[in-house]
């Protein structure tokens, strides 16, 4: 079984941003064809592609719709099969590092120094922690062959 391709009418894709998103979505589907995916994953992806191909939305609504459908596929693959695009963990863990590690460290540091204004010192520390964790996770995904050779821009 093979993944269906996007087949939207060319008159719906009339802005550069929409064209880029459509091309990226198409590229993700092409790269997923190279992966050995179970039949339930192929069926899930094909259902989303069918919904996308049958939409009548245009312009901004179509842009949001395509982003949502693309994210559904990426989140499903990550959750069920641990397949991710390039830099997936980098984008995820930089924010998590700053909020989950950086802010608490900054608050503790600010309270210990008696100046809560120093709380912002924890953000670069959290950013560093997030960068280290994310780069190791992205490398591991690449080594295990779980990475799609597409970097998400949207």
The Cα 129–Cα 61 span in angstroms is 37
Measuring CA to CA, which residue among 83, 86, 79, 111 is closest to residue 24?
A: 86
Map out the domains of the chain as residue ranges: 10-81, 89-132
pLDDT band of 84, cuts 50, 70, 90 = very high
Higher pLDDT, 126 or 11: 126
Kindly list the distances between the CA atom of residue 112 and the CA atoms of 45, 109, 115, 125, 137, in Å, as whole numbers in the listed order: 52, 5, 8, 17, 33
10 SS3 class: coil
pLDDT tens across 34-50, in order?
Answer: 888 999 999 999 999 99
């Amino acid at each position: 079984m093979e993944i269906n391709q996007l087949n939207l009418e060319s008159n719906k894709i009339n802005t550069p941003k929409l064209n880029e998103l459509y091309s990226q979505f198409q590229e993700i589907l092409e790269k997923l064809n190279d992966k050995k995916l179970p039949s339930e994953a192929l069926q899930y992806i094909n259902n989303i592609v069918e919904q996308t191909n049958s939409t009548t939305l245009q312009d901004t609504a179509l842009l949001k719709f395509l982003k949502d459908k693309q994210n559904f596929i990426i989140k499903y693959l990550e959750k069920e099969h641990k397949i991710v695009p390039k830099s997936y963990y980098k984008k995820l863990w930089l924010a998590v590092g700053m909020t989950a590690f950086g802010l608490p460290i900054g608050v503790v540091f600010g309270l210990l120094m008696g100046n809560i204004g120093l709380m912002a010192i924890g953000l670069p520390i959290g950013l560093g922690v997030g960068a280290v964790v994310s780069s190791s996770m992205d490398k591991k995904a690449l080594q295990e062959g779980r990475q799609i050779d597409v970097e998400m821009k949207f």
